[in-house]
């Protein structure tokens, strides 16, 4: 059972480039989310999805797009990378949107924007 | 949103019990209290969750007083491998879609 898998693990981009961070889970979880973690800080919610075809914005959505065409996958797109988006990105999932269930996190994608 | 406050750092020694307290004064009726652990270069990992009174699992205990304005994570007999960042979260209807992990508590366990 792989859990939550994120790819790539590391990426360096130039300002203005676009890319997609991949996230997949094999637990049939309905709820998936993306966070970013900046040095010395906690995680901030970017976007989330409560099921296939349904997404919504979190606390810091600007500069990012998401889609949820399948239950398993929840990619995060950077449209035009900026140095302020240098961060570690974590994807998480849980069974449903209910708050009495734990979130399962991937091991992150470390992204540097030059 | 229920804001949480926890110590920035704590030090302990192997074999000791560690208690990390989190304040959440404006917790709402339907909010749950959840604790996560994060090691360097890894994603957070769920430790324990509770709503009121005491919850215990194989890893930790969570104590929540009747007014629910604070909670205490208790780690029995810590080892060096318990060195990590510990996050206290309040999750519920008021935080839906806006969930943010605070700075957490850096726990350092010494030999």
pLDDT at B69: 94
Residues of A in contact with B91 (CB under 8 A): 99
Question: Is there a contact between B49 and A102 if contact means CB atoms under 8 Å apart?
Answer: yes
Question: Is there a contact between B91 and A99 if contact means CB atoms under 8 Å apart?
Answer: yes
Inter-chain contacts counted by CB atoms under 8 A, chains A and B: 62
Please list, residue by residue across A79-91, b when 16 or more beta carbons sit within 10 angstroms of its beta carbon and e when fewer do: eebeeebbbbbbb
Per residue in B68-106, pLDDT (tens digit) is 999 999 999 999 999 999 999 988 765 555 567 778 999
DSSP structure string for B56-77: E-SS-EEEE-TT-SEEEEEESS
Question: Is there a contact between B43 and A56 if contact means CB atoms under 8 Å apart?
Answer: no
d(CA B18, CA B38) in angstroms, rounded, equals 16
Per residue in A9-19, pLDDT (tens digit) is 999 999 999 99
pLDDT classification of A95: cutoffs 50, 70, 90? confident
* B104: exposed, middle or buried (Cβ count in 10 Å: 0-12, 13-18, 19+): buried
pLDDT at A1: 60
* A30: exposed, middle or buried (Cβ count in 10 Å: 0-12, 13-18, 19+): middle
């Amino acid at each position: 059972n792989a859990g939550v898998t994120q790819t790539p693990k590391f990426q360096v981009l130039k300002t203005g480039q676009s890319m997609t961070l991949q996230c997949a889970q094999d637990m049939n979880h309905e709820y998936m989310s993306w966070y970013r973690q900046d040095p010395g800080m906690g995680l901030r919610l970017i976007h989330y999805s409560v099921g296939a075809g349904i997404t919504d914005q979190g606390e810091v959505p600007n500069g990012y797009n998401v889609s949820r065409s399948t239950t398993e996958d929840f990619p995060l797109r950077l449209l035009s990378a900026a140095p302020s988006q240098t961060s570690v990105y974590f994807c998480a999932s849980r069974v449903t949107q209910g708050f009495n269930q734990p979130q399962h996190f991937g091991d992150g994608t470390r992204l540097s924007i030059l | 949103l229920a804001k949480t406050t926890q110590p920035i750092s704590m030090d302990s020694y192997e074999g000791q019990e560690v208690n990390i307290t989190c304040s959440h004064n404006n917790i709402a009726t339907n909010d749950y209290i959840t604790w996560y652990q994060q090691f360097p270069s890894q994603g957070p990992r769920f430790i324990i969750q509770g709503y009121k009174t005491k919850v215990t699992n194989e890893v930790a205990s969570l104590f929540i007083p009747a007014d629910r304005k604070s909670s205490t994570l208790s780690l029995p007999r810590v080892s060096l491998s318990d060195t990590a960042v510990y996050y206290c979260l309040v999750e519920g209807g008021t935080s839906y879609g806006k969930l943010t992990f605070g700075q957490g508590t850096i726990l350092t366990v010494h030999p």
